[in-house]
Amino acid sequence: MKPFIGLISTLAAVLSVGAAPSSAQQTKSTAPSPGTVELYTLDCGLTEFADASYFSDTGEYDGKALALPTPCYLIRHGSDWLLWDTGNGDSLASQPGGKTKFGGRFTVKQTLAGQLAMLGLKPDDIRYVAISHLHQDHTGNIGLFPKATFLISSAELSWARTKPTPFGVDAPAIAPLARAKVDASDDDRDVFKDGTVRILKAPGHTPGSRMLLVKLPKTGNVLISGDLFHTRQNYEKQLVPAVNLSRADTVASEQRFNRLATNLRARVVIQHAPEDFAAMPAFPKFLD
Protein backbone atom coordinates (compact mmCIF):
# COMPACT_ATOMS: atom_id res chain seq x y z
CA MET A 1 0.00 0.00 0.00
CA LYS A 2 1.27 3.47 -0.80
CA PRO A 3 2.17 5.74 2.13
CA PHE A 4 -0.48 7.93 3.68
CA ILE A 5 -0.33 11.39 2.14
CA GLY A 6 -3.02 13.38 3.91
CA LEU A 7 -6.05 13.34 6.14
CA ILE A 8 -9.21 12.49 4.24
CA SER A 9 -12.41 13.53 5.98
CA THR A 10 -15.36 12.11 4.09
CA LEU A 11 -17.50 10.65 6.82
CA ALA A 12 -18.38 13.55 9.13
CA ALA A 13 -21.93 13.77 7.85
CA VAL A 14 -22.44 10.02 7.73
CA LEU A 15 -21.12 9.42 11.23
CA SER A 16 -23.26 12.16 12.73
CA VAL A 17 -26.52 10.74 11.38
CA GLY A 18 -28.14 7.66 12.86
CA ALA A 19 -31.02 5.75 11.37
CA ALA A 20 -34.44 6.66 12.72
CA PRO A 21 -35.53 4.03 15.20
CA SER A 22 -37.94 1.37 14.00
CA SER A 23 -40.06 -0.94 16.13
CA ALA A 24 -36.97 -3.14 16.54
CA GLN A 25 -34.81 -0.25 17.75
CA GLN A 26 -35.23 0.37 21.46
CA THR A 27 -33.41 1.95 24.32
CA LYS A 28 -31.76 -0.24 26.95
CA SER A 29 -34.22 -1.99 29.26
CA THR A 30 -33.39 -2.23 32.95
CA ALA A 31 -34.42 -5.79 33.74
CA PRO A 32 -33.58 -8.22 30.93
CA SER A 33 -35.37 -11.54 30.66
CA PRO A 34 -33.21 -14.67 30.26
CA GLY A 35 -34.02 -14.64 26.54
CA THR A 36 -33.02 -11.02 25.93
CA VAL A 37 -30.72 -10.51 22.95
CA GLU A 38 -29.81 -6.94 21.91
CA LEU A 39 -27.26 -5.64 19.39
CA TYR A 40 -25.62 -2.23 19.93
CA THR A 41 -23.37 -0.45 17.42
CA LEU A 42 -20.56 1.58 19.02
CA ASP A 43 -18.36 4.16 17.31
CA CYS A 44 -14.79 2.90 17.89
CA GLY A 45 -13.01 5.24 15.51
CA LEU A 46 -12.37 6.25 11.94
CA THR A 47 -9.70 4.89 9.58
CA GLU A 48 -8.71 6.99 6.55
CA PHE A 49 -6.57 6.20 3.53
CA ALA A 50 -5.33 8.64 0.90
CA ASP A 51 -4.63 5.73 -1.46
CA ALA A 52 -6.83 2.71 -0.83
CA SER A 53 -5.33 0.54 -3.57
CA TYR A 54 -4.85 -2.46 -1.33
CA PHE A 55 -8.61 -2.90 -0.83
CA SER A 56 -8.86 -4.65 -4.21
CA ASP A 57 -6.38 -6.67 -6.25
CA THR A 58 -8.16 -5.70 -9.48
CA GLY A 59 -7.60 -1.93 -9.39
CA GLU A 60 -10.94 -0.51 -8.25
CA TYR A 61 -9.36 1.67 -5.54
CA ASP A 62 -6.05 2.61 -7.15
CA GLY A 63 -5.23 6.22 -6.30
CA LYS A 64 -8.55 6.77 -4.54
CA ALA A 65 -9.18 7.97 -0.99
CA LEU A 66 -11.28 5.91 1.39
CA ALA A 67 -12.61 6.64 4.87
CA LEU A 68 -13.97 3.73 6.91
CA PRO A 69 -15.88 3.84 10.19
CA THR A 70 -14.48 1.41 12.74
CA PRO A 71 -17.37 0.08 14.80
CA CYS A 72 -17.49 -2.28 17.74
CA TYR A 73 -20.61 -4.35 18.36
CA LEU A 74 -21.96 -5.03 21.84
CA ILE A 75 -24.36 -7.90 22.41
CA ARG A 76 -26.53 -8.30 25.46
CA HIS A 77 -27.51 -11.92 26.05
CA GLY A 78 -29.67 -12.10 29.15
CA SER A 79 -27.40 -10.83 31.92
CA ASP A 80 -24.20 -11.46 29.90
CA TRP A 81 -22.38 -9.06 27.57
CA LEU A 82 -20.21 -9.88 24.56
CA LEU A 83 -18.12 -7.30 22.69
CA TRP A 84 -17.21 -7.92 19.05
CA ASP A 85 -13.91 -6.17 18.27
CA THR A 86 -12.37 -3.33 20.28
CA GLY A 87 -11.66 -0.59 17.74
CA ASN A 88 -8.84 1.87 17.24
CA GLY A 89 -7.96 2.38 20.91
CA ASP A 90 -9.24 4.90 23.47
CA SER A 91 -5.78 6.47 23.85
CA LEU A 92 -6.25 8.06 20.41
CA ALA A 93 -9.12 10.20 21.74
CA SER A 94 -6.51 12.48 23.35
CA GLN A 95 -4.60 12.79 20.07
CA PRO A 96 -6.57 15.10 17.72
CA GLY A 97 -4.45 14.07 14.74
CA GLY A 98 -4.72 10.41 15.57
CA LYS A 99 -2.02 7.94 14.59
CA THR A 100 -0.53 7.32 11.17
CA LYS A 101 0.54 3.74 10.56
CA PHE A 102 0.21 1.02 7.92
CA GLY A 103 -0.53 3.71 5.35
CA GLY A 104 -3.63 5.03 7.11
CA ARG A 105 -4.68 7.52 9.74
CA PHE A 106 -6.51 6.13 12.78
CA THR A 107 -8.58 8.46 14.98
CA VAL A 108 -11.07 8.19 17.85
CA LYS A 109 -13.69 10.79 18.89
CA GLN A 110 -15.62 8.77 21.48
CA THR A 111 -13.95 6.33 23.83
CA LEU A 112 -15.20 2.79 24.07
CA ALA A 113 -15.08 3.01 27.87
CA GLY A 114 -17.23 6.15 27.76
CA GLN A 115 -19.84 4.50 25.56
CA LEU A 116 -20.02 1.50 27.88
CA ALA A 117 -20.56 3.91 30.77
CA MET A 118 -23.59 5.33 28.95
CA LEU A 119 -25.17 1.90 29.45
CA GLY A 120 -24.08 1.78 33.07
CA LEU A 121 -21.34 -0.72 32.26
CA LYS A 122 -17.69 -1.00 33.21
CA PRO A 123 -15.14 -2.96 31.16
CA ASP A 124 -15.16 -5.64 33.87
CA ASP A 125 -18.86 -6.24 33.15
CA ILE A 126 -18.04 -7.66 29.70
CA ARG A 127 -17.91 -11.46 29.91
CA TYR A 128 -16.62 -12.17 26.39
CA VAL A 129 -14.53 -10.16 23.94
CA ALA A 130 -14.62 -11.78 20.50
CA ILE A 131 -12.03 -10.61 17.98
CA SER A 132 -12.78 -10.91 14.25
CA HIS A 133 -9.03 -10.79 13.52
CA LEU A 134 -5.93 -9.21 15.01
CA HIS A 135 -5.35 -6.13 12.84
CA GLN A 136 -4.82 -2.94 14.81
CA ASP A 137 -8.21 -1.30 14.13
CA HIS A 138 -9.89 -4.27 15.82
CA THR A 139 -7.55 -4.68 18.78
CA GLY A 140 -6.85 -1.18 20.10
CA ASN A 141 -8.69 -1.69 23.40
CA ILE A 142 -7.81 -5.29 24.24
CA GLY A 143 -6.03 -4.11 27.39
CA LEU A 144 -9.26 -2.53 28.65
CA PHE A 145 -10.74 -5.96 29.46
CA PRO A 146 -8.42 -7.90 31.80
CA LYS A 147 -11.28 -9.94 33.29
CA ALA A 148 -12.96 -10.93 30.03
CA THR A 149 -12.59 -14.22 28.19
CA PHE A 150 -11.23 -13.56 24.70
CA LEU A 151 -12.64 -15.64 21.86
CA ILE A 152 -10.06 -15.85 19.07
CA SER A 153 -8.96 -18.31 16.42
CA SER A 154 -5.86 -20.22 17.50
CA ALA A 155 -4.48 -19.93 13.95
CA GLU A 156 -4.97 -16.16 14.12
CA LEU A 157 -3.20 -15.90 17.44
CA SER A 158 -0.23 -17.95 16.26
CA TRP A 159 0.06 -15.91 13.07
CA ALA A 160 -0.09 -12.55 14.87
CA ARG A 161 2.73 -13.61 17.20
CA THR A 162 5.16 -14.56 14.43
CA LYS A 163 8.37 -12.58 13.91
CA PRO A 164 8.64 -10.21 12.24
CA THR A 165 5.21 -8.96 13.28
CA PRO A 166 2.80 -9.28 10.33
CA PHE A 167 1.69 -6.15 8.47
CA GLY A 168 -1.38 -4.64 10.11
CA VAL A 169 -0.76 -6.14 13.56
CA ASP A 170 0.16 -3.77 16.40
CA ALA A 171 2.24 -5.95 18.72
CA PRO A 172 1.79 -3.75 21.85
CA ALA A 173 -1.99 -3.76 21.37
CA ILE A 174 -2.21 -7.56 21.43
CA ALA A 175 0.40 -8.03 24.18
CA PRO A 176 -2.28 -8.10 26.93
CA LEU A 177 -3.56 -11.37 25.46
CA ALA A 178 -0.54 -13.10 27.01
CA ARG A 179 -1.99 -12.32 30.45
CA ALA A 180 -5.67 -12.69 29.56
CA LYS A 181 -8.01 -15.65 29.62
CA VAL A 182 -8.09 -16.79 25.99
CA ASP A 183 -10.41 -19.41 24.54
CA ALA A 184 -8.68 -20.12 21.23
CA SER A 185 -10.39 -22.38 18.72
CA ASP A 186 -10.39 -22.75 14.93
CA ASP A 187 -13.95 -24.09 14.82
CA ASP A 188 -17.24 -22.24 14.45
CA ARG A 189 -18.63 -21.23 17.85
CA ASP A 190 -22.13 -21.14 19.26
CA VAL A 191 -21.16 -18.84 22.13
CA PHE A 192 -24.20 -19.24 24.37
CA LYS A 193 -25.19 -22.71 23.10
CA ASP A 194 -28.61 -21.52 21.94
CA GLY A 195 -27.94 -20.36 18.35
CA THR A 196 -28.29 -16.65 19.12
CA VAL A 197 -24.62 -15.64 18.80
CA ARG A 198 -22.42 -17.60 16.42
CA ILE A 199 -18.84 -16.81 15.43
CA LEU A 200 -18.12 -18.36 12.04
CA LYS A 201 -14.92 -19.09 10.13
CA ALA A 202 -14.09 -16.69 7.29
CA PRO A 203 -10.35 -17.08 6.56
CA GLY A 204 -8.57 -15.26 3.76
CA HIS A 205 -8.01 -11.73 4.96
CA THR A 206 -5.96 -13.28 7.75
CA PRO A 207 -5.60 -16.97 8.69
CA GLY A 208 -8.21 -16.87 11.44
CA SER A 209 -10.63 -14.18 10.29
CA ARG A 210 -14.20 -14.55 11.54
CA MET A 211 -17.68 -13.21 10.82
CA LEU A 212 -20.54 -12.85 13.32
CA LEU A 213 -24.11 -14.14 13.10
CA VAL A 214 -26.62 -12.81 15.64
CA LYS A 215 -30.22 -14.03 15.86
CA LEU A 216 -32.45 -11.33 17.31
CA PRO A 217 -36.03 -11.85 18.54
CA LYS A 218 -37.64 -9.21 16.28
CA THR A 219 -35.08 -8.38 13.58
CA GLY A 220 -34.12 -11.99 12.90
CA ASN A 221 -30.66 -12.91 11.65
CA VAL A 222 -27.96 -10.25 11.34
CA LEU A 223 -24.74 -11.26 9.54
CA ILE A 224 -21.74 -9.01 10.29
CA SER A 225 -18.86 -9.36 7.86
CA GLY A 226 -15.79 -8.57 9.95
CA ASP A 227 -13.14 -7.71 7.34
CA LEU A 228 -14.25 -10.32 4.84
CA PHE A 229 -15.70 -7.25 3.06
CA HIS A 230 -14.64 -3.68 3.84
CA THR A 231 -17.11 -1.79 1.65
CA ARG A 232 -20.44 -2.29 -0.06
CA GLN A 233 -18.63 -2.28 -3.41
CA ASN A 234 -16.41 -5.13 -2.24
CA TYR A 235 -19.50 -7.07 -1.19
CA GLU A 236 -21.53 -6.40 -4.32
CA LYS A 237 -18.62 -7.11 -6.70
CA GLN A 238 -17.02 -9.83 -4.55
CA LEU A 239 -13.66 -8.05 -4.63
CA VAL A 240 -10.55 -9.42 -2.94
CA PRO A 241 -8.17 -7.01 -1.17
CA ALA A 242 -4.60 -7.12 -2.40
CA VAL A 243 -3.32 -7.51 1.18
CA ASN A 244 -5.35 -10.64 1.92
CA LEU A 245 -3.18 -13.62 2.78
CA SER A 246 -5.11 -16.10 0.65
CA ARG A 247 -7.20 -15.28 -2.40
CA ALA A 248 -8.63 -18.80 -2.60
CA ASP A 249 -9.67 -18.78 1.06
CA THR A 250 -11.20 -15.32 0.64
CA VAL A 251 -13.32 -16.44 -2.33
CA ALA A 252 -14.51 -19.52 -0.42
CA SER A 253 -15.39 -17.40 2.61
CA GLU A 254 -17.27 -14.92 0.42
CA GLN A 255 -19.30 -17.78 -1.03
CA ARG A 256 -20.16 -19.03 2.45
CA PHE A 257 -21.18 -15.55 3.57
CA ASN A 258 -23.45 -15.11 0.53
CA ARG A 259 -25.18 -18.46 1.05
CA LEU A 260 -25.72 -17.80 4.74
CA ALA A 261 -27.19 -14.39 3.97
CA THR A 262 -29.56 -15.90 1.39
CA ASN A 263 -30.61 -19.03 3.24
CA LEU A 264 -31.09 -17.28 6.59
CA ARG A 265 -32.65 -14.17 5.03
CA ALA A 266 -30.17 -12.24 7.12
CA ARG A 267 -29.68 -8.51 7.35
CA VAL A 268 -26.16 -8.04 5.98
CA VAL A 269 -23.90 -5.59 7.81
CA ILE A 270 -20.59 -4.82 6.10
CA GLN A 271 -18.63 -3.90 9.18
CA HIS A 272 -16.62 -0.93 7.83
CA ALA A 273 -19.14 0.30 5.23
CA PRO A 274 -20.22 3.89 5.95
CA GLU A 275 -23.79 3.29 4.77
CA ASP A 276 -24.21 0.19 6.94
CA PHE A 277 -22.78 1.97 9.98
CA ALA A 278 -25.21 4.87 9.48
CA ALA A 279 -28.17 2.51 9.01
CA MET A 280 -27.72 0.88 12.41
CA PRO A 281 -29.62 2.33 15.39
CA ALA A 282 -27.78 5.35 16.78
CA PHE A 283 -26.15 4.38 20.06
CA PRO A 284 -27.42 3.87 22.75
CA LYS A 285 -30.40 2.52 20.80
CA PHE A 286 -30.13 -1.05 19.59
CA LEU A 287 -31.57 -3.78 17.41
CA ASP A 288 -33.59 -6.51 19.07
Q: What is the CATH number of the domain that holds 217?
A: 3.60.15.10
Rounded to an integer, the average pLDDT of 25-43 is 72
The reply to whether 20 falls in a domain is no
Q: Is the model's pLDDT at 20 over the cut of 50? A: no
Q: Tell me the whole-structure pTM to 2 decimals.
A: 0.89
| Cα-Cα end-to-end distance for the chain | 39
The 10s digit of each residue's pLDDT in 7-18 is 334 343 333 333
Rounded to an integer, the average pLDDT of 44-67 is 97
Number of domains in the chain: 1
The reply to whether 143 falls in a domain is yes
Q: Is the model's pLDDT at 265 over the cut of 90? A: yes
Rounded to an integer, the average pLDDT of 265-276 is 98
The reply to whether 21 falls in a domain is no
The reply to whether 51 falls in a domain is yes
The reply to whether 4 falls in a domain is no
Task: List the domain range (segments joined by +) for residue 228.
Answer: 31-280
The reply to whether 5 falls in a domain is no
The 10s digit of each residue's pLDDT in 278-288 is 999 999 999 99
The 10s digit of each residue's pLDDT in 156-165 is 999 999 999 9
The reply to whether 11 falls in a domain is no
With contact defined as beta carbons under 8 Å apart, do 25 and 281 qualify?
yes
d(CA 3, CA 209): 25
With contact defined as beta carbons under 8 Å apart, do 192 and 80 qualify?
yes
The reply to whether 272 falls in a domain is yes
